[in-house]
Amino acid sequence: MTEHEPTVLVRARAGLGRITLNRPRAINALDVDMLRAIGTALEEWRNDPSVDVVLIDGAGDRGFCAGGDVRSLREMILAGHADATGEFFRVEYAVNDLIAEYPKPVVTFGDGVTMGGGIGLAGHASIRIVTERSRLAMPETRIGLTPDVGGSWLLAHAPGRLGEYLALTGAVMDASDAIYAGLADHLVPSENLPALLDALETRADPGTPSELVLLFDETAEPSKLEAARKWIDDAFAADTVAEIVERLRARPEAEASIAADTLAELSPTSLAVTLAAVRAARELPDLRAALAQEYGLVLWFANTQPDLVEGIRAQLVDKDRSPRWQPDTHAGVAAGTAQDALAYVPHVALWA
């Protein structure tokens, strides 16, 4: 990408509308202008008879999308620009919803790093492709936030208690794990992506996108998450984060101990709210309701909790990996905190 290239490339050819995230140095991290460009292209193609399939991919060889530009989010919060903070999420969630409800097939190449906001683009598409290089995660608890972009909805419908595990720990999934957890559909070797792109453009027989993908996909290896279901389901069924940690410490598996250590490093407030959010999402009727719930949660964090700004500082600004959480223990999280977060009413509604 040169200095003057757009951060989103939009073009249509032979019936294929292609949207390419074009910030490879930042692993295609999303800002509000990129999200607006994606939304505009999708709206223009919705009723365009010359476009019948949409592909969303990312420039560079590091990943599809590393997430939202949370450094800018931190700057907006510190500057007191609450309206701008809300606007970013409204635009982002509208795009997530648009992809999920799009009347034409949307294909995504979740190649390489696909995390946070990247899941919001790739995870709601009708044909979700991952590769041997894919690394997927919802790592928001690592910055003192909670999974959003419809992530709580996707994770709430993962098998067993994988949703709680993935949401709380921010664990990274490979292609096999993502397919098993329900965040992806097909494993296509990265070397086959150019040929698949060509097939989508030329419409070689068979002609539907789903049929074309089957010409290039491979059977995924057994998922490590599936093999770990026994200890994950046992521990992450507990009522509270403290009880989850207690159960993990009691398990003989080394992976359970690692998960407990991970939780000990993360924001207690973020973990308590995230646990409640995933479980609440299981009871919601659809993705749009989950996005509305997430909108209230992220603005609750942005407007009332110091852990979000501190988490971004520690992970992405100063990079000292030593956040000072407030409070810094599970016992210090006030009773009813998660319920207060879920009940938070933003100044501007998501679907205003």
Residues that are catalytic: 68, 117, 140, 148
Angle at 126 between CA 73 and CA 176, to 5 degrees: 80
93 within 8 A of 117, measured Cβ to Cβ: no
The whole-angstrom separation of Cα 28 and Cα 318 is: 21
At 344, which amino acid appears?
Answer: Y
At 108, which amino acid appears?
Answer: T
Residues facing 56 on adjacent strands: 19, 108
Looking only at the bridges linking them, the beta strands covering 127-130 and 106-110 are parallel
Give 225-263 as a DSSP string.
HHHTHHHHHHHTTSSSHHHHHHHHHH-S-HHHHHHHHHH
Residues facing 65 on adjacent strands: 114
Structure tokens at 45: 């193609």
